[in-house]
Every structure is written in C-alpha cells, then in structure tokens.
Chains A and B, each alone.
Chain A
C-alpha cells in the first residue's frame, strides 16, 4: 500500500511518501489512520486532529469507513486551498 502526505501533513509526518504493509486487521481508512498514529513521532502529530485530515484512496475522496487494501494509493492532506 502506497501512502502519500501533502502540505503540513507531510511536514509533520516527516515524509512525502512510503510503502506500508499494515496487518490484515486494517481494512478501512479509519483502521489505517489508527495504525499510523500508533507508530508515534511525526505520524501521531500529523493525525492529532482528525477533523482537518482529508483522505483520498486511489485519487478519489474517501470517508473513514471506506475500505483500503494492498496495492491502494492512500493520500492524506489538509482541507484544500486551491483556486
């Protein structure tokens, strides 16, 4: 599973991208965030306020209950500020 981080989420997590292999119990976006938070350090800080974290799975906006699977691209970013 490929993870991408953008804007201040990347600054806090300390990396722009990574390949991960979460355990089989991680089946949803919410599970994945909890698993990442538990790694500590920058990841805990990046996900400290879930209200301002947006998620996309395979480049489509995703909700917490949406599924994630091996081979997916999951991106985490703040509310967008384009335009």
Chain B
C-alpha cells in the first residue's frame, strides 16, 4: 500500500493496521525518515518537499511491487509526506511484514534505498544563508545499486526463535 500525503502519520496506528488479523506475520520492520536540523554543517529551519503528484504514486507502486516479487511479504506500506516540514517531523514511513524476519528487514532496506533514487520528490531547505535545493547524493545511488545483484533469497526457516 502506498500513501502520498501532506499530513503526519501515527506509527502505532499504522503498525496495528499492518498486522491486524494476520497471525501468519512473524516480523515487521519499520523505517522512519525524519527532518534533521543540520545539513552540510548549516542549520536547517525548514524543509519543503515538492513532488510530481501523478508520478509519485506510480513510482512507489512499482517499487512496492518489485519488493513483493523479490521477497515473500505478507504486507508492505510506504507513506511519503510532501509540503513544508520542520526539524523533527516525520518525512517517510516504510514498513514490511513477513512470516520470518529476513524478508521483512531486507525488503524494508531495499524499499528505502530504491525510494531515495526513484521517487519523484525534491527537497528545498531553508538555512540562515537562504534557501536551496538539496543535491542528490552519490552514496544514495551506490546504496540502491547494491540491490541490483541480490536475488530473492529469503523467506525460509532461518531461525526458530522469531
């Protein structure tokens, strides 16, 4: 499931909704991205996220489908906010649920790495020096590239103590 929205999300409520009624789920992995108050040594007073509305839903849906094809997931959720945010605010939630932990953890990691290089959002930061667009980082491309070789390897009996 994909949601692109301005408003904040409630982690507890989203976690409960992910697992409700499905007792085949043995593990849930959550990643939350937050606005920091410092970027490249400068204080950030606000961050505004611009997005390409029609394409964000499409891109996130494709990324989720990719994760589901690689790992046996019981559920997956991506919530990405847009608009003006302040330090400490939630930006993005990626949550994955599976029978065993490896698929949930790997898929969650994959989703946030790919989202960072594929999802059409752009950040504008306000600092004391003025406002500027954030540059994409080589290490995000590198992080997402490492998933290209990894095949769907999990979902099995890796550990009895789940």
Contact = CB atoms under 8 A, between A and B. Distances in A.
B133 A80 contact: no
A77 B119 CA distance: 12
A8 B124 CA distance: 9
Given A59-B54, A59-B55, A75-B55, A82 B133 contact: no
Interface in B6-54: 33, 49-52, 54
23 contacts: A6-B52, A7-B50, A7-B122, A7-B124, A7-B133, A56-B52, A59-B52, A59-B55, A59-B58, A75-B52, A77-B122, A78-B122, A80-B117, A80-B136, A82-B49, A82-B51, A82-B92, A82-B116, A83-B33, A83-B80, A83-B91, A83-B92, A83-B121
A4 interface: yes
B135 interface: yes
In the complex, which range does the number of interface residues on chain B fall in? 20 to 34
A83 B52 contact: no
Contacts of B120: 6, 56, 75, 77, 80, 82
B129 to A, nearest CB: 16
Contacts of B116: 80-83
Interface string B109-126: 000100111111111100
A81 B135 contact: yes
A4 B50 CA distance: 13
Given A78-B122, A81-B133, 14 more contacts: A4-B52, A7-B133, A56-B120, A59-B54, A59-B58, A77-B52, A79-B136, A80-B118, A80-B122, A81-B121, A82-B80, A82-B119, A82-B121, A83-B92
